[in-house]
Structure 1
Amino acid sequence: MIAQVQSVIPTQVDSKAITKSEFEQHAQEKANAFKSVSGEKFSLLSLADVTKTILHHAFWLAEQKQQLSLKQYKKLLVERGWRGEEKRYLKIAAVFGEFSPQDLAQIEPLTVYQLANNSNKYKQVIDALLDLSSITQEAVRSLVKEHRAPKAAKPEKPSIWRRTKNGGRYCQIPAIHEEDERTGVTLQRMMDTEGLSAQQIVAEAIALRQAYQEGRLALVNEDKN
């Protein structure tokens, strides 16, 4: 569809909505005028005019949908080869209804599509454009950056692993804070009475817990009543 739009580059008009004959007349006049323009000047002029053409087309199509019957509107789409592509232009017309094609002429065509297709996401940006005396591509980029929602920081996955200087790693259990200090008191008593290190006792405890989870160990009810 963009290829068709680029070949239709109208001159500036005062009204957003133009009739079929006017639309085609502007397209032909501008196409003829651009035959004499070449090189860098052509690229600079065509970017703004393509953007204006997209907006003229969007406003004109939206008006036709309102004025024509459903049958006539569908026939129009088929005749012009726009069937299936009309929704994106109707979105543009709805989102930029308070602007004129000239207002947005300095915005890149892809940016126009981007804002229209994500109007909820960029609502603050679009509203802010109304307050600008001159709307440029750089201004839009700045607004998008300004209103970009910060990405939620992903919580770090807890890890007990630490690295040694030679590239190896070791396990380090974080500090255990308890009001009654039961875990620490029990561990210390086991170390004192059994002569084992804290690491040995923790390793045995983890092995027992894993055995229980795997069904190799069961709790026995010692209640003799």
Structure 2
Amino acid sequence: MMTPVQGVIAAQVNSKSKLKPYVEQKADTTKSVSAENFSFQTLADVTKTILLHAFWLSEQKQQLSLKDYKKLLFDQGWKGEEKKYLKIAAAFGKFSPQDFAQIEPRTIYQLAENSKKYQQVLDRLLDLSEITQESVRSLIKKQRTPREARPEKPSIWRRVKNGRRYCQIPPIHEPLEETGTTLQRMMDEEGLSAQQIVAEAIALRQAYKEGQLVFKEGTTKP
């Protein structure tokens, strides 16, 4: 699986004259970190490395033929991993890696993966003299608009794997259990299923609502 650091290292190995600025910038960063402390690379270095790799990969896609670009991905074992970095390059194309030195990597991925949603955030970052983690989080928080709570509409419908649906009546809770007792007695005496009895009852109620049935005095209406 491709990692940001591996991506930039590969960029150095396969670099051409047009990619020299990226390689030199990464080389300067590497010189400032001793071999003993490399494993403690700061979040700033990680974030800049991610952006450097994303910009480099985007250039490769633009400059190379489709065949050569696919070969690059295949040779480096990056196939399937490149999309997230191309999104980063597209989202942060107006910035430089140094602009986000104070931003933790996860925030970079969050903004890039949802660039349409956070386009206003990205636009407002251009106006900041200094981009900090706090300022980015503040803009993201303001971007979120509370949704109005809507009452959930009761539904009796359920679906099976083949896409077909069926209705399922929720449990009926009654102190004296009249409905359940009556339904069970009908099932036992008439040999009908609960579904058949309920279907008949609903059909009768619908007929009554449409004026096709008239109840005698002293009977209980549905």
With structure 2 as the length reference, what TM-score do the two structures score?
0.59
Q: Structure 2 CA distance, aligned partners of 1:122 and 1:38?
A: 33
Is 1:36 matched up with 2:32? no
Query: What residue is the counterpart of 2:68 in the other structure?
Result: 72
Cα pair distance change 1:18/1:91, threshold 3 Å: farther
Identity of aligned residues (%): 59
Which protein is bigger by CA-based radius of gyration?
A: 1
Cα pair distance change 1:38/1:63, threshold 3 Å: closer
Cα pair distance change 1:18/1:48, threshold 3 Å: farther
Cα pair distance change 1:69/1:38, threshold 3 Å: closer
Q: Any idea what SS the aligned residue of 2:99 has?
A: coil
Q: Structure 1 CA distance, aligned partners of 2:28 and 2:120?
A: 37
Residue pair 2:53, 2:85 contacting (<8 A) in 1 also: yes
Query: What residue is the counterpart of 2:101 in the other structure?
Result: 105
More displaced, 52-61 or 26-35? 26-35
Residue among 112, 116, 121 paired with 1:120: 116
Q: How many residue pairs were aligned?
A: 161
1:38-74 Cα distance to aligned partner (Å, 9 max, x none): 89xx3xx521101000000000011111111111111
Is 1:19 matched up with 2:51? no
Cα pair distance change 1:211/1:143, threshold 3 Å: same
Q: Give the unaligned 5+ runs of structure 1.
A: 11-16, 159-208, 221-225
1:6-33 Cα distance to aligned partner (Å, 9 max, x none): 46778xxxxxx96279639936971883
Cα pair distance change 1:216/1:31, threshold 3 Å: farther
Query: What residue is the counterpart of 1:213 in the other structure?
Result: 205
Amino acid across the alignment from 2:205: Q
Shift of the alpha carbon at 1:111? 0.8
Shift of the alpha carbon at 1:155? 3.1
Residue among 134, 137, 141 paired with 1:138: 134
Cα pair distance change 1:89/1:9, threshold 3 Å: closer
Q: Structure 1 CA distance, aligned partners of 2:28 and 2:132?
A: 27
RMSD: 3.8
Is 1:52 matched up with 2:48? yes
Shift of the alpha carbon at 1:34? 3.6
Q: Give the unaligned 5+ runs of structure 2.
A: 10-16, 155-200, 215-222
Cα pair distance change 1:18/1:36, threshold 3 Å: farther
Residue pair 1:56, 1:101 contacting (<8 A) in 2 also: yes
Q: Any idea what SS the aligned residue of 1:153 has?
A: coil
